[in-house]
Every structure is written in structure tokens, then in C-alpha cells.
Amino acid sequence: MRRTTDTAALGQMLGAALATREPVGPLSQLVGDKAAFGALEPAALDRPTLIAGGALYGPSSPAPTAQETEELLSRAAALEVPQILVPHVRRTDDSRALRAAGFVPFAAGSEAVVRLTGEVDDILRARLGGGRQGALRRLSDEVSRDLSWERLPVSGLGGAPWAREAFVALHRRQGGDHTLYTARALDALATGALADRAEMLVRRRGGAVVQVALTVASHNGRGLYLLTQAMDPADPLGQDDLRAAAVYGLCRDARRSGLHWVHLGAGDTDGPRGLGADLFVPLDHWLRGEDLTAPQETGQEQPLSRFAAPPVTTVPVPGPVRGRNQPRFDSIDLAGNTNPFLGAGGQYPHLDTRELARTYLDTLAKLPGHEGTGALTPEHLLFSSGSVDGVMLLLAALASPGESVCVTPPTFPLYAHFARLLRLPLVEVPLGGDDLAELDTGRILAADPRVIILCDPNNPVGTRLDPAQVRALVTGTRGLVVIDEAYVEFSEKPSYAALVAEHDNLIVLRTLSKAWGLAGARCGIALAQPGIIEALRRVQVPFGFTDASQAAVRDRLGQARRVGASIRHIRAERDRMAGLLARHPAVERVFPSEANFLLVQLHQHERVMEQLHRAGIVVADVGFLIPGTCRISVGNRRANSALLAALSAAP
């Protein structure tokens, strides 16, 4: 919770649960994730500890300011308590005051949030797949048939003593005598600042309560915190099923009420991810006590790559982007200067795309030819507005006037276009060999370019480059090597993405426009070492990756099997069309292809292009790159048949 009155109310609950004037007790009894403190001596776990705020109840609390930290130290001194814990602080918060006061961080997992960007079933289908979404819905329906579901305002529990007693009893059965959800804690919540926003959820089988939960609406009116759940371990449905059904129901009810998120509390990411959570914020416990040494403060920004252009080293990441890992879902944002009366479209896109990056990398690692990419982290990835935007970004961020850019024609023309726009000298080293797949590595290295841009599979040819030659450039150049893999999913040869973790001068560009069928979402991906990603981020325009695009990407990544099947279909149709075109009298040659298109050399180029135009068929005329050629995308069977018919029509 992001405001002092809310965390103070939770602190009062904690004090009431402990039956103490101040929330003081041993760590071993108060902190559920004791593994976080595994490096401490046993005595430290039993030492009296002052707990700051009420973050033990689930929501994270803001890191205290310097003044608040001083007040905390004074309270501990007055109470003669030797140890202080500030639990569940977001790692993205400013922790300088804690470090300066001698607090030490201990990793505490993450808090998980389900962001409600659309209808709940559609969201879960995109994030979890249709099978898991269907199972959750069926489970919820089953639970609803078997159990009654009631919502009781916490402020009115005086009229429902049975609910209060059941709540305490189930928590005691689940957490033992040291549960923080005692009758006193519940009474403190019912009379405190959160009372009007707190509800108890109760499920009964017959007359017996088998599940209870506690929720608090956020102060900004946009979401809901799930503080706790407790289930009867003997219920035939099982605790996991009851828990999952409750989360599904909460999300559905929250969406119907116009809310934007449900906060599931702190814990392991795998469980919440399986329930649809898509935002995970890393947390730390901060402890101050005997024999603990605070770590040195480190810079918040990633160190820049040695390849960053001099102007980039003198400017910070643009203002909004500096807060990209500081989620604001539970605050009131009055910094954007937008119209608050016209719906969600008036809000700027989410900048906290770390979980989406992790989803992409997890999906990438499962694709054929992508072994070893599991070593990549979200810090190795930048989303861009299509992969061509990534080309512009890297040339602007990593090359200076006078430093040359090498391209290997025939290749994608926009590489040279952007280099000329940025007034970077252009070096052209044509591809060789009958299939235009051979690099002249000696000539490229002799030119000593700042940036070498390779397209693999090549556009417009469709062939793959020799991996040994590509590696020779990566290891032999003093500059950067950029490999555009826009079409690599259609190839049966490996990607170069795994090499990014090994070479600080390698950038791999990917896109979801081609194999993933999301050209309209404009999502490109740059994979590189974090120092390069940081340099690109300083050049990139903020908010270019829209919420609609993020939702489309998340949805499509959840359909990897469907995408894989379509790729196999395209490969088969590509090979069929290659054979038919190679035998066609209008065609001189069909180049071998490992993309989703075919480069075709025609006997009478201009006549055939005119013939296709009259038939209403558009292909890419690339005769200006390779004389007499056109590039034909692999369409569905109907479109491909129309093309063949148009080629065969009498002139």
C-alpha cells in the first residue's frame, strides 16, 4: 500500500495480533518466509524485533524516507529493541535511507498482481492457455455449485460473530498459534482506517465455514488487495482448488466492478503466474541488527556498453522510462497531464514490461534451434516498435558521425536508408555465391566498420548465411555485429540469440510481425547485453509500446503451439510452391529459401509483373536489387493457386 495511513492501519493490526503496544516480536514467529533469513545466526531469529509498518499482511510498503527511518531508529531505542525489520519493500523503491542507517536486504520473493486489461476469461486464455483457463472456469463453477459465497463488510462483523469466529479458527488451523490473523487483529481492522474498504469473503458447506478471505480496496479505487485466505484442510475440494477458485472469482467480480487489478500478495511467482498474474515486483526484507553490515550503494542504472556513442553517455534515460520498473498500479497518478474523464485510453502505456519480456524469453527457449537462450534475462531485451525501429535506435545510440555502417547487398534496403539519414558512411560488401549466401569476411573486416548489419535469413533472397563466417565477423571485428532474424522461425537452422550472452558486440533483432502474425501490433525485439540495451533505452521514445500491443503480444505468446503448426504449414507450402514455380515456363530460377517467401527470377520480368498486376496480385518487385526478380510471399492455398493461374494466363 502506497500511503502512510493505510500502512499505519495494518501496523495497528499487527500490534493487536501480538497484544503489544508496539509491533515487537521474534523473527521466527512473525516472518513466514524464514528461508529468506537462512544466513542469520539462530539467535537473530529469536531476537526481539521491531516490525515497521504492516507489510507482513501482504501488500508491500514504501521504503521509508530518511526522516521516517530516523523515527524508526528512535522508536527502537526507546523500546530497547536490538533489531528492526522493514519487510516486503519493493526492490525498485529508493532504499538509500535504509542503507545509510545500516539495514541489510534479504531477498523476499515478489508480489504478484493480476492486471485486468479485458474480460477475465480472455485474459486467462492469453496468459495461461485455453486448457488452464477452461479448467479454472470449470473449477469455479463446481465450487459455486457446492458452496455458498458471502461477502461481509468488516465494519459490520459485530452482527456476524459466527464469521469472525470461523475466520480466526481457520487461520489458527492453518498457521498455528502464531497466526497474525487473530480476533484482536480483526477487531483492529474493523475499527481502523481501512474498515470501510475491507470485506470478508466466506464460503460455507452446509452450516460449516470451509473458506475465508480478506480483501481491501485500494485507496485509488482501481484495484483490490487479497490480504489472506484460509481453508479447511479437510474439505473434499482441497485447499489448492479452493484457493484457485477464489482468485478466479475475485478477478471476475473485480472486472465486473470496473477495477483494473487484483493484488495476490507476496510469494513464489510460479503459483500466482498459474492463476493469471502478469506483474511480479521483486521484494526485499530490510533488517538492522547486530553483526550485520549494510551493502554498498550501487547505481540504479545499468552501466553502459563500451559501444555507446559519446552523446548517449552524457544523457540519462528519459524521465518516464526511469520509472519503468516502478509500478504505479496502486498509486494516484497526477503526473501525466492526461484527461481523466475519457476512460483507460487516456492513460500512458505500461512501462513495466519485465514479465512480458520473461514470457517471450521462456517461449523463445522452447523453440527449435534456440537451445541456450535460457541464459538470457529481461535485462538482455528491449521491445521496440517493430524490428526496423530497433535498427534506427541502435545506429543512433551506438554509432557517431564518421563511423561507417557495413551492409551486404542484396539486403533489406532500410539498413542503408537509416545509415544515410544519420549521416553515417555506408560500406557495401555484396554477397557472393550462386545462392547469394556467402560473406566476404576479409573485405568486411578490412573496412573496419563500426556496425555490420546482416540479414539472416536474407531478405529478399531467403537463404541463410554460413555460421562459420558469421562467427568470424563477431570475433574478428572491433565493432558491432547486428543480425536481423526477422524470418528465423521459418528456418530449420539455429538462431544466434544464444550467443548474445557470450559477446558484448552482438545484437540480434527479432520481430513478431512475421512468423507470429502480429504485424499490426508493431513489436520488435532487440537482444543484446544489458549495457547495450541501456544505451538503446536512452534513445528510444517513451511509451512507444502500447498497452494494446502488449496485450496482443501476450495473447499470441500464449498460442505457441498454434503458431508452430502454422509455421510448419508455411514451410510445406513454401516447398510445394518452389517446386511448381521452378517448372513454370515464365520462371527462370527459384532461389532456395528458409523464409516464408520465395525469390523468383523471371524470363520476362516486366511483362510478368504487369500480368500479375492485371490479375490483382501484388508481389514485391525487387528487380532493383537483383535484376529480373520478384519476391513472393507464401500465402494460403487459395492465394497461391491464384498466383499460379495468373502466371499461366495468356498475355
Residue type, 314: T
At 508-534, the pLDDT tens digits run 999 999 999 999 999 999 999 999 999
Spatial contact of 49 and 83, defined as CB atoms under 8 Å apart? yes
At 330-383, the pLDDT tens digits run 888 888 888 888 877 778 888 888 889 999 999 999 999 999 999 999 999 999
Give the per-residue pLDDT at 30.
Answer: 74
Rounded CA-CA distance 238/30 in Å is 26
Rounded CA-CA distance 37/287 in Å is 10
Give the phi and the psi of residue 101 in degrees, each rounded to 5: -90, 5
Pick from 254, 240, 214: which is nearest to 139 by CA?
240
At 587-634, the pLDDT tens digits run 999 999 999 999 999 999 999 999 999 999 999 999 999 999 999 999
Residue 280, strand partner residues: 112
Rounded CA-CA distance 562/490 in Å is 14
Give the per-residue pLDDT at 33.
Answer: 60
Give the per-residue pLDDT at 25.
Answer: 84
Pick from 425, 274, 326: which is nearest to 93 by CA?
326
43 CB burial (10 A radius; 0-12, 13-18, 19+): exposed
Percent of the chain scoring above 70 in pLDDT: 97
Give the per-residue pLDDT at 499.
Answer: 97
C-alpha cell at 119: 474480460
Spatial contact of 443 and 431, defined as CB atoms under 8 Å apart? no
C-alpha cell at 441: 569476411
At 11-30, the pLDDT tens digits run 888 888 888 888 888 888 77
Spatial contact of 374 and 528, defined as CB atoms under 8 Å apart? no
Kindly report the pTM of this predicted structure: 0.84
Flag the least confident range among 82-86, 485-489, 572-576: 82-86
Spatial contact of 91 and 281, defined as CB atoms under 8 Å apart? yes
Q: Among 296-300, 438-442, 536-540, which range has the highest average pLDDT?
A: 438-442
Rounded CA-CA distance 511/260 in Å is 29
Mean pLDDT of 429-453: 97
Pick from 392, 383, 397: which is nearest to 324 by CA?
383
Asked whether residue 171 carries a pLDDT value surpassing 80, the answer given is: yes
Q: Among 158-162, 176-180, 344-348, 424-428, which range has the highest average pLDDT?
A: 424-428
At 215-253, the pLDDT tens digits run 999 999 999 999 999 999 888 888 888 899 999 999 999
More confident: 188 or 39: 188
Mean pLDDT of 173-198: 88
Give the per-residue pLDDT at 268.
Answer: 77
For the chain, the average pLDDT equals: 90
Mean pLDDT of 571-579: 97
At 480-503, the pLDDT tens digits run 999 999 999 999 999 999 999 999
Look up cell 528492526; give the residue.
84
- Alpha-carbon Rg for the chain, nearest whole angstrom, is 30
C-alpha cell at 570: 508455411
Q: Could you give the C-alpha distances from 53 to 9, 72, 237, in angstroms and in order? A: 8, 10, 36
**Paired sense of beta strands 597-602 and 587-590, if any:** antiparallel
- Identify the band that residue 32 occupies on the pLDDT scale cut at 50, 70 and 90: low
Rounded CA-CA distance 592/578 in Å is 8
Helix (H, G, I), strand (E, B) or coil at 392: helix
Helices 547-557, 120-128: crossing angle, 10 deg rounding: 50
Helix (H, G, I), strand (E, B) or coil at 41: coil
- Identify the band that residue 311 occupies on the pLDDT scale cut at 50, 70 and 90: very high
Cβ atoms within 10 Å, residue 54: 29
Give the per-residue pLDDT at 300.
Answer: 54
Rounded CA-CA distance 533/397 in Å is 10
Pick from 118, 515, 138: which is nearest to 278 by CA?
118
